[in-house]
Amino acid sequence: MAEPSVEVRRSKRRTRTVTAYREGDTLIVQIPARLSKKEEAHWVAEMQRRLLRNETRRRSPARTSDAALLQRCAELSERHFAGRCVPAGVRWVPPMRTRWASCTPVDRTIRVSERLREVPAWVLDYVLVHELAHLLVPGHGPDFWELVRDYPRTDRAIGYLEGLSAAAGWGITPMD
């Protein structure tokens, strides 16, 4: 993976703090204007390290393979459905045009868009809980949402996915 480009933004109003965030493929590091070039280099390296650590921590191990995805579904089924939702298969698929994931209750299979490989773990968990619930309730009625809302970050994850889709211009509709 290529090293991201770095943009350093110096601010006279910023006196003590250093912050960093991603803007697309660019790492933006905001520093006080008074810092020397040596201090700047230190803080750029430090903020790259911190950002990478935080991004790695938030990613789900389930993103690594279909087997890991199936294992994560088993864990979520135990936690949220008392083990009642056991898919026959779960796999990563190329990006879908209008969905984050899909479930076929008849053959108990779940497909997850590769677009979700890089989202925080709690967002992927929501999508998996959503699809697992379809193994018990095929539609999106009140009984379905009662099951899904057992996942505590449901609303936050829906908002995250809506924002991700809008920012990328994908036009993927909310999971409803």
pLDDT score of 173 more than 60: yes
Q: What is the mean pLDDT of the chain?
A: 88
* CATH number of the domain residue 98 falls in: 3.30.2010.10
- Same domain? For 53 and 66 the reply is no
Containing domain of residue 9, as a range? 5-58
- Answer for the pair 116, 101: CB distance below 8 angstroms, yes or no: yes
In a domain, 173, yes or no: no
Q: How many domains does the chain have?
A: 2
Question: DSSP class of residue 17?
Answer: -
- Same domain? For 33 and 107 the reply is no
Distance CA 101, CA 96 (A): 8
pLDDT digits (tens, 9 = 90+) for 121-148: 899 999 999 999 999 999 999 999 999 9
Angle in degrees, CA 161, 62, 27, rounded to 5: 55
In a domain, 77, yes or no: yes
Distance CA 3, CA 45 (A): 12
- Same domain? For 69 and 33 the reply is no
- Same domain? For 53 and 89 the reply is no
Contacts 24+ apart (CB under 8 A), 36-44: 40/8, 43/18, 44/6, 44/8
- Same domain? For 18 and 41 the reply is yes
**Percent of the chain surpassing pLDDT 70:** 91
- Residue 175: band (very low, low, confident or very high) from pLDDT cuts 50, 70, 90: low
- Same domain? For 104 and 93 the reply is yes
Average confidence (pLDDT) over 168-175: 80
In a domain, 174, yes or no: no
In a domain, 175, yes or no: no
- Residue 1: band (very low, low, confident or very high) from pLDDT cuts 50, 70, 90: very low
Average confidence (pLDDT) over 11-25: 84
How large is the greatest C-alpha to C-alpha distance in the chain, in angstroms?
64
pLDDT digits (tens, 9 = 90+) for 71-104: 999 999 999 999 999 999 999 999 988 999 999 9
- Same domain? For 34 and 72 the reply is no
- Answer for the pair 175, 158: CB distance below 8 angstroms, yes or no: yes
- Residue 19: band (very low, low, confident or very high) from pLDDT cuts 50, 70, 90: confident
Q: State the DSSP H helix or E strand holding residue 161, giving kind and residue range, or none if neither.
A: helix 154-168
- Same domain? For 83 and 149 the reply is yes
- Domain boundary (38, 58, 78) is at 58
